[in-house]
Structures are given as structure tokens and as C-alpha cells.
């Protein structure tokens, strides 16, 4: 009232999960179906991002296609799977590394331990779907920050890799999935109560991207299998700048192997009702590389969903008239009425692609139909 607050700057409010720019109302249908199994994430998955509220690593963002990987008893690993499971970090003797103790030695636990392993009830964990092609995930500085360890009980270093075996899609993460670090600390079993049940039959919406004909406007070319560095595309980061920028943030739909399109053909980039599969990193792509083949496609083991519609009609509900402070990042006049999540999604990609832009450019990009939200039906097996 006395004018003492004049001149104070505005910060973007992201402290709480509900306000996170990369968390949104994923499920559209009220009768969504979560999987009956609630499971942990595979321990060896690299950290995609770090939650600012808890300082815990997120290994699978929201809206990402996931697959199942089985876990067995100690005896099975000793007597049957005598090589252990390198992807899950389980040794041939049926133990798993939880971390490193204060003396630098590995903390090992029986895989069936109820507190630090998977007990008698957990028979599977979730990992990221890869379209049925084995690939290698790459550890980064984020894994060093959270003191991640490998199956040998040594700290991982940026650039280390772990192989993710070929798998079959199972469902889609309803919320971000945290790193499983049970047994690592004396005073914390952080995610022990954070079991995850993916969506397996539901209508969801995820953001989509339609790149130009050369796939170099937003740098969203197909992620191909070359046997190494698939997750972060460190082998060719320049070609995937846009893709890499949102990969740690959320699930999304893009054209995959289908060639990008010119402005006049944006409306024909996808075929409504066509089948969708996973790319190497659990992101949605068309099952067929051409729209012509999409019309006669058949469901396969890799089919995870069906594209229902694309929506780039923002602003909605007069949101462009809601007065929000400039620089706050809140839906309203500061985002030209575009929903905060989509605005931040587009802004991240444009920034990574080296495209100078203002809020008007983000508005134009959405209005062009190249960005928006895709409604997807997750199909039962």
C-alpha cells in the first residue's frame, strides 16, 4: 500500500511439483486403468533430472512408455541365470548393489531381501521401452551428482554406459518415476513407498512436435539404433538438439522415421487413428514410416497406442485475458494465454534449436500446428 514493493522482480514459481513446468494433467478419461502391479524402476537407469524439492533423481519422466523386466530369487540367478542380469545390476550370486559405504566398499544385498531388494512380492521392475531394439543408456554428470553406482559397486562416471535389452512396451508412466536407492543410506529409504503403477488402458495427452521437411528446424530426426549412446544421442548431439532438450523432461510424440513436413502439409503429418510405438527412449512415434502404410497397418507386439487427435488450439477459455506478471511464466498474458506446460515445452525446444524467439514466436509456433497436445489411447495388450 505504501509503494515499498515497487521495482521488485518476479521469479518463475517452480518449487512445488504441482507447479512444475513439466508436469501436467496427463490422463483425460476419468476411468483410466492403472496396472495392478506396482513396481520399482530398474536401479541402473541413468538419472534424467533431479527433483528440486527432494534432491532425488528422476529416472523416467511423466508420460514415457515403459516395459517390464523380471526379477527372480537368489536361487534362480545361482542355478539358472548364472551370468546374472547386467541390465538390472544383479550378480550371478543373486545380489544387488545398493551403494557404497563410508569406507568405500560396495553395499550388497540379496535380490530377494524385503527391505533393500525385491522381496517375495516384487517380481518385475519397469524400464524404458526401446521399440524392441537393444540400446545403451549413457550416464551423465547428474548420475555423478547423486553418487550412482554400477553393478560392480563402483561410482559411475559421465560417459559410462549400460545396455537396455530389447523389450516390449507395457504402459505409460502416470507421474515421474524416482531412482531406487534403497539400502544406500542409513537414514533414508526415499522411494520405498513410491512404487509405480503405469497406465495400461486409458486416454492420455502428451505434447507433440512436427518438424520441418529436413528435420532441422527443431532438430527432431528419428532416433536410430546404432548400438551405442542412444539415450542422450551424444554420438550426434547437433542433429538432436531439440529432442535432447525435452528428453529428460517428459514423454512426447514426434514423427520418428517419418520425414518432417513443409508448412502446407502439417495437417497431414499424422493419420488420426494410426498405431503408435516407442522409439529408443520410450517416446511415441508412428508405427509406420509413411502415412500411406498407416492406413493399412496391423497391431504388433510393439504397438502401445492409437493416435486420437491433435490439439494446437490455444489459447482456450479466454486464458489470454488472465493478467499474469511478465516473467512469471504463469498461464495468462505472460504466455499469451498458452498453457504453461506447452509454453515451456516449446520454449525449451526453440532455445535448444538456437532459434531466437519471443512469446509471440511461441504463440505462432503453436498456432502453426507444429506444437500442441496429442490425445492417445493406450491400448490393452
- C-alpha cell of 211? 518438424
Taking alpha carbons only, the member of 82, 36, 41 closest to residue 61 is 41
Domain ranges (residues) in the chain: 36-197, 201-378
Band the pLDDT of 27: cuts 50, 70, 90. confident
Q: What is the pLDDT of residues 78-91, one digit of tens each?
A: 999 999 999 999 99
Higher pLDDT, 167 or 380: 167
* Separation of CA 267 from chain center: 26
Q: How far is CA 306 from CA 154, 177, 184, 351, in A?
A: 42, 24, 40, 30
Distance CA 104, CA 62 (A): 34
The grid coordinates of residue 275 equal 498405431
Name the β-bridge partners of 305.
276, 378
Task: Give the contacts of 330 (CB within 8 A, at least 6 positions apart).
Answer: 13, 324, 340
DSSP string, 297-324: ----TT--EEEEEEE---S-TTGGGS--
pLDDT score for 120: 85
Rounded CA separation 131/129 (Å): 6
CA distance 130 to 114: 30
Q: Which residues pair with 110 in a beta bridge?
A: 95
Residue 18 pLDDT > 50: no
Rounded-to-integer distance, Cα 79 and Cα 287, Å: 39
The answer to whether the CB of 12 falls within 8 A of the CB of 328 is yes
CB atoms within 10 A of CB 25: 9
pLDDT over threshold 90, residue 276: yes
Instruction: List Cβ neighbours of 197 (8 Å cut-off, separation of 6 or more).
Output: 34, 35, 36, 37, 38, 39, 174
Q: Which of 259, 283, 274 is closest to 208 using CA atoms?
A: 283
Q: Which residue has the higher pLDDT, 316 or 35?
A: 316
Residue 355 contacts residue 189 (beta carbons within 8 Å): no
Query: CA angle, corner 168, sides to 239 and 125, nearest 5?
Result: 100
- Bond prior to 365 in cis (omega within 30° of 0): no
Among residues 215, 281, 224, 285, which one has the least CA distance to residue 250? 281
Q: What is the mean pLDDT of residues 283-290?
A: 95
Identify the residue with better confidence: 50 or 263: 50
Can you state the angle between helices 340-352 and 359-367, rounded to 10 degrees?
100
Using 50, 70 and 90 to split pLDDT, how confident is the model at 194?
A: low
Task: Give tens-digit pLDDT for 33-67.
Answer: 777 667 889 999 999 999 888 888 999 999 999 99
Q: Is the pLDDT of residue 22 over 80?
A: no
Q: Are strands 65-70 and 124-128 parallel, antiparallel or unpaired?
A: antiparallel
Distance CA 372, CA 248 (A): 19
Instruction: Quote the pLDDT of residue 64.
Output: 97
Least confident of 119-123, 153-157, 367-371: 119-123
pLDDT band at 192, cuts 50/70/90? Answer: low
pLDDT: which is higher, 32 or 174: 174
Give one DSSP letter per residue of 107-136, joined into a string: EEEETT-TTTS-TTT--EEEEE--TT--EE
DSSP H or E run through 50: strand 49-50
Q: What are phi and psi of 190, to 5 degrees?
A: -10, -70
Amino acid at each position: 500500500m505504501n509503494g515499498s514493493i515497487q521495482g521488485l522482480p518476479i521469479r518463475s514459481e517452480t518449487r512445488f511439483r504441482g507447479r512444475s513446468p513439466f508436469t501436467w494433467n496427463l490422463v483425460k478419461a476419468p476411468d483410466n486403468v492403472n496396472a495392478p502391479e506396482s513396481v520399482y524402476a530398474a536401479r541402473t537407469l541413468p538419472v534424467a533430472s533431479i527433483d528440486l524439492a527432494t534432491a532425488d533423481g528422476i529416472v523416467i519422466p511423466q508420460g514415457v512408455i515403459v516395459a517390464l523386466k523380471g526379477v527372480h530369487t537368489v536361487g534362480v540367478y545361482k542355478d539358472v541365470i548364472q551370468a546374472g542380469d547386467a541390465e538390472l545390476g544383479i550378480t550371478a550370486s543373486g545380489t544387488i548393489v545398493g551403494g557404497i559405504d563410508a569406507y568405500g566398499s560396495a553395499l550388497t544385498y540379496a535380490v530377494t531381501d524385503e527391505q533393500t531388494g525385491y522381496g517375495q512380492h516384487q517380481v518385475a521392475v519397469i524400464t524404458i521401452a526401446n521399440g524392441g531394439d537393444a540400446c545403451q543408456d549413457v550416464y551423465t554428470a547428474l548420475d555423478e551428482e547423486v553418487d550412482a553406482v554400477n553393478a560392480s559397486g563402483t561410482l559411475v562416471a559421465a560417459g559410462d554406459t549400460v545396455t537396455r535389452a530389447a523389450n516390449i512396451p507395457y504402459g505409460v508412466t502416470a507421474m515421474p518415476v524416482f531412482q531406487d536407492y534403497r539400502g544406500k543410506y542409513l537414514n533414508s529409504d526415499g522411494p520405498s513407498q513410491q512404487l509405480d503403477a503405469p497406465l495400461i488402458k486409458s486416454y492420455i495427452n502428451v505434447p507433440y512436435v512436427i518438424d520441418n521437411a529436413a528435420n532441422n528446424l527443431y532438430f527432431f530426426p528419428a532416433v536410430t539404433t546404432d548400438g551405442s549412446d542412444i539415450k542422450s544421442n551424444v554420438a550426434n548431439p547437433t542433429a538432436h538438439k531439440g529432442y535432447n532438450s525435452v528428453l529428460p523432461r517428459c514423454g512426447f510424440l514426434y514423427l520418428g522415421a517419418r520425414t518432417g513436413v513443409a508448412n502446407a502439409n502439417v495437417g497431414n503429418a499424422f493419420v488420426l487413428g494410426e498405431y503408435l510405438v516407442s522409439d529408443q527412449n520410450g517416446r511415441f512415434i508412428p508405427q509406420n514410416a509413411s502415412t500411406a502404410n498407416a492406413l493399412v497397418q496391423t497391431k504388433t507386439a510393439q504397438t502401445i497406442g492409437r493416435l486420437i487427435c491433435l490439439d494446437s488450439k490455444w489459447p482456450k477459455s479466454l486464458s489470454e485475458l488472465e493478467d499474469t506478471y511478465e516473467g512469471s511464466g504463469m498461464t495468462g498474458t505472460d504466455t499469451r494465454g498458452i498453457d504453461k506446460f506447452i509454453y515451456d515445452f516449446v520454449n525449451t525446444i526453440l532455445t535448444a534449436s538456437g532459434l531466437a524467439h519471443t512469446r509471440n514466436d511461441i504463440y505462432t509456433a503453436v498456432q502453426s500446428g507444429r506444437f500442441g497436445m496429442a490425445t492417445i489411447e493406450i491400448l490393452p495388450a
